[in-house]
């Protein structure tokens, strides 16, 4: 089954009860049993729910995985992965990553005796010096948030396999439409499904997908034991959003390319971060592992002024100044004061997240309106 077909049919079938084409919302907490333990596969909705199970099958299908898990948020899914570890274990993470992930690693799990190394991963060979007998996980974002660095998943997978270390990839920015990390050797794929998978800014959710049954069983246990699951209504909304993922991503990519090219020529713009440019570091890696270059980009203005960046995002009209990304509407953000505010200034500036950086999530509106909005805002 080709990808565009999978978004509509992957892991899905008409409902067995009445043949409903769309997965029904099973708004129930519990299920009748004919005798203790005698049920039809469902006993309590924290453990399983038919609507959520359909969604988890869809997640697995999109990523060419075998097992999918849905959580109440992207961070809840990352939390579940971290719970595979124990005190004394070490994690190697990319140093340019979502601020909420950094906060979870540093302020929650570091207190429990897990050590984190935040490093640049543009060159996979740089990782090996940090691997030791305590290393249990490599955490990758690619493209990274918000600097759009590209990391070679296949090369990192070779390192992880060599040292018997799990490799998890946050695929939120790319989506399985653009890249599928499991096919490149990753063990775990994570999504903040809130973003592109849902696509309509109306549901908060996280996802994990794996191929290995033993690993899946551990994660299912954590999912059930910790209870950070999503409800059936949210599962229904996510299933509906996924059905248009392929057509939305095509337009996100088309519009993103035109905006990147426009900003690169703007006299007041200093630098545009977008992996589709030939001079972007690891552009060739992006071409190899991605189908297209996505709808996310960041840029800085020439005067590198904090107040000017704030004025630009406040003047935008088609773009909405808001947290999050990946919806049908164009969104703008100021990472230093919004999504990455939890990262200390000196740490975020090492990766390029300076006070003048603006991050754009390019929506699927008419491209002429999008560019006209940027023109009036930047001036």
State the catalytic residues.
Answer: 46, 98, 170, 195
Q: Which residues are CB-contacts of 45 (< 8 A; sequence separation ≥ 6)?
A: 26, 28, 29, 30, 52, 229, 232
What 3-state class would DSSP assign to 169?
strand
Strand arrangement, sheet containing 358-361: 269-273, 296-301, 358-361, 331-333, 320-321
Distance between CA 154 and CA 160 in Å, rounded?
Answer: 10
Q: For the stretch 320-351, what's the b/e string if a residue is b when 16 or more beta carbons lie within 10 angstroms of its beta carbon? A: beeebbbbeebbbbbbbebbbeebeeeebeeb
295: phi then psi, degrees, rounded to nearest 5: -110, 15
E-assigned strand segments in 128-238: 135-141, 166-170, 188-192, 206-210
Task: Say if CB 197 and CB 238 are below 8 A apart.
Answer: yes
Q: What is the helix (H) or strand (E) element at residue 361, kind and residue range? A: strand 358-361
Task: Say if CB 72 and CB 189 are below 8 A apart.
Answer: no
Strand arrangement, sheet containing 135-141: 67-71, 206-210, 188-192, 166-170, 135-141, 90-94, 115-119
Distance between CA 318 and CA 170 in Å, rounded?
Answer: 29
What burial class does residue 207 get, using C-beta atoms within 10 Å of its C-beta: 0-12 exposed, 13-18 middle, 19+ buried?
buried
Q: Which residues are CB-contacts of 33 (< 8 A; sequence separation ≥ 6)?
A: 39, 43
Task: Say if CB 173 and CB 165 are below 8 A apart.
Answer: no
Structure tokens at 285: 């890696």
């Amino acid at each position: 089954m080709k990808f565009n077909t999978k978004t509509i049919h992957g892991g899905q079938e008409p409902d067995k009860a009445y043949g409903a084409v769309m997965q029904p919302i099973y708004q129930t907490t519990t299920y009748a049993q004919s005798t203790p333990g005698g049920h039809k596969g469902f006993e309590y909705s924290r453990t399983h729910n038919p609507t959520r199970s359909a969604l988890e099958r869809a997640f697995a299908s999109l990523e060419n995985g075998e097992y999918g898990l849905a959580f109440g948020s992207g961070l809840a899914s990352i939390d579940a992965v971290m719970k595979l570890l124990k005190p004394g274990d070490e994690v190697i993470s990319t140093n340019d990553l979502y601020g909420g992930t950094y906060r979870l690693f540093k302020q929650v799990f570091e207190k429990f005796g897990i050590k984190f190394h935040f490093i640049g991963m543009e060159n996979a060979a740089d990782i090996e010096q940090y691997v030791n007998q305590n290393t249990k996980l490599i955490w990758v974002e690619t493209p990274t948030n918000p600097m759009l660095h590209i990391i070679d998943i296949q090369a990192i997978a070779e390192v992880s396999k060599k040292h018997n270390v799990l490799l998890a990839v946050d695929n939120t920015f790319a989506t399985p439409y653009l890249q599928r990390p499991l096919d490149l050797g990753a063990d775990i794929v994570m999504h903040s499904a809130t973003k592109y998978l849902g696509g309509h800014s109306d549901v908060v959710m996280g996802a994990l997908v794996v191929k290995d049954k033993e690993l899946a069983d551990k994660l299912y246990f954590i999912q059930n034991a910790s209870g950070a699951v999503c409800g059936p209504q949210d599962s229904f909304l996510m299933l509906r959003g996924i059905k248009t993922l392929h057509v939305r991503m095509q337009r996100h990519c088309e519009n993103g390319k035109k905006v990147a090219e426009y900003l690169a020529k703007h006299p007041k713009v200093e630098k545009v971060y977008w992996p589709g440019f030939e001079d972007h570091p690891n552009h060739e890696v992006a071409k190899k592992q991605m189908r297209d270059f996505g709808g996310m980009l960041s840029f800085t203005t020439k005067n590198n002024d904090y107040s000017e960046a704030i004025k630009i995002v406040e003047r935008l009209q088609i773009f909405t100044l808001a947290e999050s990304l990946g919806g049908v509407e164009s969104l703008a953000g100021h990472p230093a004061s919004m999504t990455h505010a939890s990262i200390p200034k000196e740490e975020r500036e090492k990766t390029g997240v300076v006070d003048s950086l603006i991050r754009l999530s390019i929506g699927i509106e008419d491209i002429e309106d999008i560019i006209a909005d940027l023109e009036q805002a930047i001036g």
